Amino acid sequence: MAKTTKTTKVTKTAKTAAKTIKTVKSTKTTKTVKTVKADKTAIIIPARYNSKRLQGKPLMVVDKKPIIQWVWERAVKVKGVDSVIIATDDKRIFDTAKKFGADVEMTSEDHKCGSDRIVEVAERHPEFAFIINLQGDEPMIDTKAVEEVIRLIKTDKEADISTLLSEIKPEEDLIDPNMVKCVKDKNGFAMYFSRSKIPYERNLGIAKFYKHIGIYGYRRESLFEMTKMEQPEIEKAESLEQLRALYNGMKIKTSVVEYNSIGIDTIEDFNEFKRLVEKPKKAAAKKTTEKKTEKKKTPAKKAAAKKVTSSKQNVVTEKKKTVKTKAVSKKKTNK
């Protein structure tokens, strides 16, 4: 009987020890799992080399800087942003970005669009709550415009995505397929995007036309949700990924701004950007040359002025002498 009791006690002790070990293991496991709070805002700039319309454009140079550097330098000046990352699938872009000091991450070559590339980077950063997709071909992007995109996505709880529009000016080409048009509702939510002229004008002079500025703000969950969706026919037809979001009922909040974007899609766009950069430099160089020429002329002008002044003084002196001589002669005559 005593033996049985002892055996029972040993068994109970073993079970207790086993439970204790399990508890310790469980506690240790719990301690190693860290929950990262998603509360940061990041700008991610997708940049690929093999663009269909203009291959290698991120590395095309204007004023000794590649296009991607122009974009990055604007992005790091945006207020309220915790991180700026360039996402690329090309080692040449990666190496170039590293040289000018950017945070850059390599991504897969298999992505169909920029948003998929951004998701790959965002997956590595669970702290990003708001993610801004800034196109790598917008070298003159206005920092205030990006800040407006951030404001929209953070303040409007109904919005899954935010973006910008600007009113199309009369001189701009409404039927240009590279200029994406948008129709919005009374609350500023996008109804449709198209490369065609929308709305169609059956009655002329009534509608306002808006072009899309390709900056997007995403809530983290919206970005991941959208990229998991299949591409609908309208997206494939227009080659506009934002149509995937609209097709699936997501809400895109827009804001109309004065900023007029200069996206580089063609060699003509690149040349126009180059002209805009070089124009003030040429004007400044011309002004400097004129100043230098003026400085060279100044000594000659001073000498000429001195000569004129000296001549005038001589004339005055001569006049005074003449008057004095006449006065003396007159005095002698009177005597």
The model's pLDDT over 198-211, given as tens digits with 9 standing for 90+, comes to 999 999 999 999 99
Residue 131: per-residue pLDDT: 98
| pLDDT tens readout for residues 60-110 | 999 999 999 999 999 999 999 999 999 999 999 999 999 999 999 999 988
| pLDDT tens readout for residues 26-47 | 444 444 446 678 899 999 999 9
| pLDDT tens readout for residues 198-248 | 999 999 999 999 999 989 999 999 999 999 999 999 999 999 999 999 999
The average confidence (pLDDT) of the chain is: 83
Looking only at the bridges linking them, the beta strands covering 210-219 and 181-184 are: antiparallel
Q: Quote the CA–CA distance of 12 and 69 in Å, as a whole number.
A: 70
pLDDT at 163 over 80: yes
HEC string of 234-260 equals: HHHHHCCCHHHHHHCCCCEEEEECCCC
Residue 33: per-residue pLDDT: 46
Using an 8 Å Cβ cutoff, are 153 and 168 in contact?
Answer: no
Q: How confident is the model at residue 308 (pLDDT cuts 50, 70, 90)?
A: low
Residue 260: per-residue pLDDT: 79
**Size of the chain in residues:** 335
* Token pair in block for residue 310: 């000296």
Q: How confident is the model at residue 321 (pLDDT cuts 50, 70, 90)?
A: low
pLDDT at 13 over 70: no
Q: Quote the CA–CA distance of 112 and 221 in Å, as a whole number.
A: 20
Q: Quote the CA–CA distance of 42 and 82 in Å, as a whole number.
A: 6
User: Among candidates 82, 114, 89, 116, which has minimal Cα distance to 104?
Assistant: 89
Residue 3: per-residue pLDDT: 46
Using an 8 Å Cβ cutoff, are 45 and 85 in contact?
Answer: yes
Residue 110: per-residue pLDDT: 85
Domain range 40-265, its CATH number among 3.40.920.10, 3.90.550.10, 3.50.50.60, 3.40.630.40: 3.90.550.10
Q: Which residues contact 306 (CB under 8 A, 6 or more apart)?
A: none
Question: Residue ranges of the domains in the chain?
Answer: 40-265, 266-303
